[in-house]
Structure 1
């Protein structure tokens, strides 16, 4: 199954409705490598021409809206009046000759909050930038800025700052006073080092430090607990600092992190506790020096995209690495069960304690010959907000009723190799379930309520007693993988309200059933799916 790395704001400059978008760079959706377009400006204006770019019309517009755009104008310098535009509007209104309409009267003037100077050839930012005290959004990307003045740190209200595609090699110490920043892009510069004070940017939700020359990150990065997306790709990082090394405390705080891009670095080790980043949806590890993966990587239940080509993972077959996210996650999940059991050495009377449940985010008790699971176990699992439950290789004849206690967080449920002959209707309460393994049981049918699991992406019903694919399966709109081998299925319903309804289905395994005709399963119906069926 082909895996596409979904693009997100992490890999692009901010959308700009005020500016000609010729400066935006094309992206390659397969590997996220930027393909720069030539900037439209080849020569800068002289100083006088720069000053003339700030016209009366622009000043009047800035007065009304609090926004000023001078992007893509060939500026070599910033017009002096930009820095005192608030004062100009208030004190020099007669010179500007505003109309007498109420909307243009000086006392209704909006202070400048958004300034766009992107896609020019500006080399220097004046210390007079400090006069723009109301500035919230500042766009300086795609220029030739090599340094920032100390006064830059006086922009106390700044929340969004784009400095991508410049020539910065360092940041002044005053820069770290911009503690209201929410969105920061410093990509495509030549920055060699960032200071420990970077940890003061505690309000950041988006950070892009990609395409620089960083060899290390400072302690303190772990304080950026509101981050949703972070891009550290295309640097020379060999390791992560202690407090971003994904310790348990760090991951407990980094509850919002969705995207972590650390491709094209020199990382040799990925910390075990990465499994605690339970909101992670995209992880790019491409082109590092990793020779092994943490076993708990398979516990990232919400992971939608993982890229790890270009490493030294000799123990993982290349076809697994190239097989996409679903195949890699299945491989990692299969490793977890065996390794966790071997290490835990639990006796049949013992259950995982709260610390173990919290650390692993999983309730895993396979191969224990269990006939039931007491409610107190589910209560502890619910308090730990476990995402994975594994009761495989036991003697369960029914799904333990306590499973509903973890239904709000459960994303993966493994019940294979038991003696189940039915599932209760309450299974539909596990509405976040993405992976359900019912293989090697005694099932002949599934409850209609299972069709309510709209987030289910993989369903295993192999090695049971099904004579047909249960009707409820056709209600699983997001199903990508259906494994139904080793049953007694003798016909396949390919109508528009059956298999043909599963638009996202990519893998269908009907091996060793009693099907005499393929009924369009291979070609016309699922041209992009891997379908296996035998008589």
Structure 2
């Protein structure tokens, strides 16, 4: 083959690698006059993803850098208003995230007015003591670095409300952590912590505590003093014992304790706001009867992969329960009382030696199991003789009941329509929860329009709905929407406007295609779409991949033919259910191995791009 005579037009200095560490002089050039001017105008400096190895020195003295040079100042020329020092804002927001910084200068102490500092995703191993001078700091993100220790001065940041130290190499935290009394969100996940400091209970403003993926063996007893705590995530540790009584966590809503060594359920009496308890992959052997008595708001109970041998009849006292996962335990029978749980739409009991119900019935899913249990309960009830006369139940609640409960609940009354006056009364009572489970409604009652600004939860499970009217878009504060067990085969585009939704349930309907409007619900954490006829779904960035907060995805018992490999990139998913579909891969063994195994399998099959 002859060598081409055409000379290359590529210059020699253009043959350098595309990515390389810049020297200090190159890093300084990032801070142009235009960037400085904008920062002095807004008080915000964004230097994220600039491939910086060094922070430009000018950052620590921006106002000095931006001063008008008096030596060359022309008295005959009117200065730019933005250049006048009294019109310049001090730096309050500094973003240096996603660079390759290995150290931060002690000059950071000059930024006395800083309120927000983002240093996540760098290569920092230490933090300068001078950070303690930033007494106005309210948000600090140090996640995804290599920090092994914090200076004692760090705990002088007493105005901090948000602190993220996740994905570092911390082995211990000083007891001075308790000095950060304004903290509302604390993330210590993905470190090497073997214990939490005593005194953490003094952080009484804390609402969100993440300590998952560490080496913790127990929790300090004073953790129950966190009276405002709403979310506690301690999954993937070595915890053997939880505090025996956790009822003082009066406002707790979510507890994640999967993948530990816990052998006993804690006493949660008093946790009346608890909505989700995830405590799978532990060594729990029983569910105490009293455990079920005082959790009126519990919607999700995940106890899969434990050693539980019996499900007590008292489980029926969890009247708000919607999802119960008892997979892979040692249960040999199911109590008939399960059929009385009006909101239960997902019951997982695979992997148990159940003998009281045939395997083919269990394979048919939740509704078939509950129907079987209900039939048995009915047969028992027909044998009982009622000796006392029944008192007629009032069909609709009055305004006093509505004000007391702050909810409009009409369950199991076979209603096909609901009077408008009831909605007017409900509006006056400022209700936030509407529950019309087990009726005969064919569409959304028009009266719901009166409640659109205040509805947070709407439950229409087990009705005869064939369509959802466009006015659903008016529910601009809704967080939970249950449309399961109806006759729906589509959702209107207006559902995509419900951006406050955290959970949507469309299980047991007639969907053939996955509703695209759901892709617009960017704050969704839970999607339940099992027991439909869905043939395919989009997991790309334009589809489910856009839902960065999605933690639970249930697509079991559909007609899905292939699972898109890009679903494996959604690593934030903690519960993925795909069984009962027609695809051949992933195989059954992988599905049984759990969510992380499925996601890993899918990631390995994403086509390589060259």
Is residue 2:259 matched to residue 1:279? no
User: 1:391-406 counterparts in 2 under 5 A?
Assistant: none
Change in 2 beyond 3 A, CA 1:186/1:332: farther
CA deviation digits over 1:264-283, x for unaligned, max 9? 11222233443333332322
Give the match for residue 54 of structure 1: 31
SS in 1 for 2:114: coil
Is residue 2:261 matched to residue 1:294? no
Measured after TM superposition, the shift of residue 296 of structure 1 is 2.7
Is residue 2:284 matched to residue 1:313? yes
Measured after TM superposition, the shift of residue 300 of structure 1 is 3.7
Is residue 2:199 matched to residue 1:220? yes
Change in 2 beyond 3 A, CA 1:436/1:187: farther
> Is the CA contact 1:428–1:450 (under 8 Å) kept in the aligned structure 2?
no
SS in 2 for 1:216: coil
Is residue 2:407 matched to residue 1:429? no
- Of 60, 68, 79, which residue of structure 2 is paired with 1:83? 60
CA deviation digits over 1:70-124, x for unaligned, max 9? 2211111111121122332347576899982223212321111111111111111
Give the match for residue 458 of structure 2: 478
Measured after TM superposition, the shift of residue 234 of structure 1 is 0.8
Change in 2 beyond 3 A, CA 1:436/1:302: farther
Measured after TM superposition, the shift of residue 205 of structure 1 is 1.2
CA deviation digits over 1:255-314, x for unaligned, max 9? 3x22211111122223344333333232211111122212436x6443343322222223
Change in 2 beyond 3 A, CA 1:198/1:91: farther
Structure 2 spans left out of the alignment, 5+ residues: 1-16, 289-296, 304-310, 319-387, 449-456, 473-479, 487-506, 513-527, 533-610
User: 1:444-459 counterparts in 2 under 5 A?
Assistant: 452=426, 455-456=433-434
- For residues 279 and 78 of structure 2, the distance between their equivalents in structure 1, rounded to whole angstroms, comes to 61
> Is the CA contact 1:93–1:106 (under 8 Å) kept in the aligned structure 2?
no
CA deviation digits over 1:406-464, x for unaligned, max 9? xxxxxxxxxxx9954223524322343598999xxxx99999687746515586x8xxx
- For residues 136 and 18 of structure 2, the distance between their equivalents in structure 1, rounded to whole angstroms, comes to 31
Structure 1 spans left out of the alignment, 5+ residues: 1-39, 318-323, 339-416, 462-467, 483-491, 509-520
CA RMSD, aligned part only? 4.4
> Is the CA contact 2:132–2:155 (under 8 Å) kept in the aligned structure 1?
yes
Give the match for residue 112 of structure 1: 91
- For residues 157 and 333 of structure 1, the distance between their equivalents in structure 2, rounded to whole angstroms, comes to 54
Change in 2 beyond 3 A, CA 1:109/1:235: same
- For residues 466 and 301 of structure 2, the distance between their equivalents in structure 1, rounded to whole angstroms, comes to 32
Give the match for residue 69 of structure 1: 46
Change in 2 beyond 3 A, CA 1:259/1:333: farther
Give the match for residue 518 of structure 2: none
SS in 2 for 1:306: strand
Normalised to the residue count of structure 2, the TM-score between the two structures is 0.52
> Is the CA contact 1:295–1:332 (under 8 Å) kept in the aligned structure 2?
no
SS in 1 for 2:140: strand
- Of 255, 259, 263, which residue of structure 1 is paired with 2:235? 263
**Which 10-residue stretch deviates more, 86-95 or 264-273?**
86-95
Change in 2 beyond 3 A, CA 1:333/1:131: farther
- For residues 56 and 86 of structure 2, the distance between their equivalents in structure 1, rounded to whole angstroms, comes to 24
- For residues 122 and 235 of structure 1, the distance between their equivalents in structure 2, rounded to whole angstroms, comes to 25
- For residues 507 and 48 of structure 1, the distance between their equivalents in structure 2, rounded to whole angstroms, comes to 65
Give runs of ≥4 in structure 1 deviating > 6 Å: 93-99, 329-333, 434-438, 443-451, 470-477
User: 1:117-132 counterparts in 2 under 5 A?
Assistant: 117-132=96-111
Q: Which has the higher contact order (CA 8 A, sep 6+)?
A: 1
- For residues 180 and 138 of structure 2, the distance between their equivalents in structure 1, rounded to whole angstroms, comes to 10
Is residue 2:274 matched to residue 1:303? yes
- For residues 93 and 332 of structure 1, the distance between their equivalents in structure 2, rounded to whole angstroms, comes to 83
- For residues 278 and 472 of structure 1, the distance between their equivalents in structure 2, rounded to whole angstroms, comes to 37
SS in 2 for 1:51: helix
SS in 2 for 1:175: helix
Is residue 2:478 matched to residue 1:504? no
Normalised to the residue count of structure 1, the TM-score between the two structures is 0.58
SS in 2 for 1:430: helix
- For residues 69 and 120 of structure 1, the distance between their equivalents in structure 2, rounded to whole angstroms, comes to 12
Measured after TM superposition, the shift of residue 522 of structure 1 is 6.8
- For residues 94 and 332 of structure 1, the distance between their equivalents in structure 2, rounded to whole angstroms, comes to 85
- Of 171, 185, 188, which residue of structure 2 is paired with 1:206? 185
User: 1:6-85 counterparts in 2 under 5 A?
Assistant: 43-85=20-62
**Which 10-residue stretch deviates more, 325-334 or 135-144?**
325-334
Give the match for residue 26 of structure 1: none
Change in 2 beyond 3 A, CA 1:507/1:274: farther
Change in 2 beyond 3 A, CA 1:525/1:212: closer
SS in 2 for 1:123: coil
CA deviation digits over 1:28-87, x for unaligned, max 9? xxxxxxxxxxxx995321111112222111111122111112221111111112112233
> Is the CA contact 1:295–1:335 (under 8 Å) kept in the aligned structure 2?
no
User: 1:119-518 counterparts in 2 under 5 A?
Assistant: 119-244=98-223, 246=224, 250-251=225-226, 254-255=227-228, 257-296=229-268, 300-315=271-286, 326=299, 328=301, 334=314, 419-423=390-394, 425=398, 426-433=400-407, 452=426, 455-456=433-434, 478-479=458-459, 504-506=482-484
Change in 2 beyond 3 A, CA 1:495/1:52: closer
Change in 2 beyond 3 A, CA 1:41/1:421: farther
